[in-house]
Amino acid sequence: MQTPLAEIINIGDEILYGQITNTNAQGMSEALNKIGVNVVRHTVINDDENAILKALEEAEKRCDIILLTGGLGPTKDDITKKTLCKFFGTELVMNEEALAHVSAFFSKRKIEMLEINKWQAALPSNATYIKNSKGTAPGMWFEHNGKVFVSMPGVPYEMKHLMEYYVVPHLQNFFQTPHIVHKMIKTVGVGESYLADKIETWEDNLPPHIRLAYLPSFGMVRLRLTGIGDDVVQVEKDIEAEVKKVLPTIHKSVYGFDDDELPFVVGRMLANQGKTLATAESCTGGFLAYSFTQYAGSSDFFTGSVVAYSNEVKMKVLGVEAETLEKQGAVSEETVLQMAAGVRKALGTDIGVATSGIAGPGGGTETKPVGTIWVGYSDAEQTVATLYQLTEDRMVNIRVTSNLLIDWIRRKNGYNLKKLQVE
């Protein structure tokens, strides 16, 4: 059958005020995509009868599944249930099972149940009651003109619980859902346009049930393949086949798949090779070290970093020559070569890398504008440097430099894509 289409409607002022991020929509989307439901829209509205009615009407026109969260608490601004009655042309009736649950909830906590709490057990007469063991607001399942509407509380862990134990399995039963499979190919060191150009023929020849998206960030581009079909095993096979086809063209830029993170992957590679790493940072200012140390287990390969912001530290701790700093300046090939070799020696590691550049926004000159960044790499066999011309944005420069330099470590240490091979 056809892929069912879903819309997620989240009711809540605090999202529209920008006070919280709408994590509910993300979690619900993820759960629906996993069972082959195509989420075509997220809608956020406030606790307003007209807004809710309008959203329900619009959603019903375009979707098979409409999931709502929010507006089910006992306070006055929670009007979802009344509005659902209006929408379906039904009315609220006390649900005995829900009332027993709410009563038990209060008596268990030895709190007196107020009249407004009882009201939580009144449901639209066409609702199937979904028990919420994490709270007092009920979940509700509606079938209407062949479509499914589900109303859930907005508290994230309550919603998540109802989705997992009831909504997802019941949707799988109700709809004969096709399967959606995602695969992410993660690249670094090449731009989106360059990649698009390289893989154009492959992209143009993708079968119609597989789509491609480019997701760029800070010197990296993720290629996301999405496949749809009735037979999950076949879709997975088709995607794997496409990945195998494209890899030879781009394999040097690929550092991993799916949830792989660049510093983590490169760190594991060094740890597996028994190599140790030290960093000497000027313009990255500690961010490069933190890229590695944010992950548990980084002490397996990461020995330490010298953030050498002043020339004195570059000389005293890293052994950069005074003459070099004076004649060529701190942002120069010769300086990063000495920094990379110097930190390797000072910290006694197999590999040393270094950064020195004009991160900006100030400090640029005619010959060395903001974004001029030298990086160095040193191991037992070589000590080399390269120049990046990046942006005028300090944060972007720091992040891109870190990613590109981590990629350089990867390339210099014979990172073998076969180890990453698609399962």
Footprint on residues 222-241 left by a copy of itself (CB under 8 A): 224, 226
* Contact call for residues 408 and 375 (beta carbons, < 8 A): yes
- Check binding of 14 to a copy of itself (CB under 8 A): yes
- Check binding of 393 to a copy of itself (CB under 8 A): yes
DSSP 34: H
- Check binding of 2 to a copy of itself (CB under 8 A): no
Q: Side chain identity at 289, as an amino acid letter? A: A
- Check binding of 333 to a copy of itself (CB under 8 A): no
Q: CA 41, CA 206: separation in Å to the nearest integer?
A: 25
Radius of gyration for the alpha carbons in the chain, expressed in angstroms and rounded: 28
- Check binding of 306 to a copy of itself (CB under 8 A): yes
In the bound complex, what is the minimum distance in angstroms from residue 286's beta carbon to a copy of itself? 3
In the bound complex, what is the minimum distance in angstroms from residue 103's beta carbon to a copy of itself? 14
Phi, psi of 152 (to 5 degrees): -135, 160
- Check binding of 394 to a copy of itself (CB under 8 A): yes
Q: Which of 80, 298, 397, 401 binds a copy of itself (CB under 8 A)?
A: 298
* Distance from the Cα of residue 326 to its chain's centroid: 45
- Check binding of 29 to a copy of itself (CB under 8 A): yes
Matching residue, tokens 């509005």: 83
Residues 6+ apart with CB under 8 A from 264: 295
Which one of 32-40, 123-131, 244-252, 262-270 is the stretch in contact with a copy of itself (CB under 8 A)? Answer: 32-40
- Check binding of 104 to a copy of itself (CB under 8 A): no
Cross-strand pairs, 297 = none
In the bound complex, what is the minimum distance in angstroms from residue 416's beta carbon to a copy of itself? 26
Binding residues for a copy of itself, rule CB under 8 A, total: 110
Q: How many CA atoms lie within 13 A of 100 on its CB side?
A: 5
Q: Which of 35, 53, 73, 417 binds a copy of itself (CB under 8 A)?
A: 73
Q: Which of 233, 297, 322, 328 binds a copy of itself (CB under 8 A)?
A: 297
**What is the token pair recorded at 264?**
């983590």
Which one of 113-121, 235-243, 333-341, 403-411 is the stretch in contact with a copy of itself (CB under 8 A)? Answer: 113-121
Chain positions 198 to 227 lying near a copy of itself, rule: CB under 8 A, are: 203, 212-217, 224, 226
Q: CA 393, CA 387: separation in Å to the nearest integer?
A: 17
- Check binding of 310 to a copy of itself (CB under 8 A): yes
Q: CA 22, CA 293: separation in Å to the nearest integer?
A: 29
- Nearer CB in complex with a copy of itself: 80/126: 80
Chain positions 123 to 152 lying near a copy of itself, rule: CB under 8 A, are: 133-134
Chain positions 147 to 166 lying near a copy of itself, rule: CB under 8 A, are: 155, 157
- Check binding of 274 to a copy of itself (CB under 8 A): no
- Nearer CB in complex with a copy of itself: 143/200: 200
Q: CA 1, CA 179: separation in Å to the nearest integer?
A: 11
Q: CA 380, CA 344: separation in Å to the nearest integer?
A: 9
* Contact call for residues 306 and 346 (beta carbons, < 8 A): yes
Centre a 10 Å sphere on the Cβ of residue 374 and count the other Cβ atoms it contains. 27
- Nearer CB in complex with a copy of itself: 60/392: 392
- Nearer CB in complex with a copy of itself: 126/308: 308
* Contact call for residues 338 and 377 (beta carbons, < 8 A): no
